Amino acid sequence: MVLLGPNGSGKSTLFDVFNFLSECFRFGLRHAWDRHGRARELKSRGQAGPIVIELKYREHPQQPVITYHLAIDEGSKGPFVAEEWL
The span from the CA of 66 to the CA of 73, in Å, is 23
- Domain ranges for the chain, please list them: 11-85
pLDDT, tens digit (0-9, with 9 covering 90-100), for 26-65? 999 999 999 988 888 888 778 889 999 999 999 999 999 9
CB 80 within 8 A of CB 72: yes
By three-state DSSP, how is residue 60 classified? Answer: coil
Contacts of 10 (CB under 8 A, 6+ apart): none
Contacts of 34 (CB under 8 A, 6+ apart): none
* pTM, full prediction: 0.81
Averaged confidence pLDDT in the chain? 91
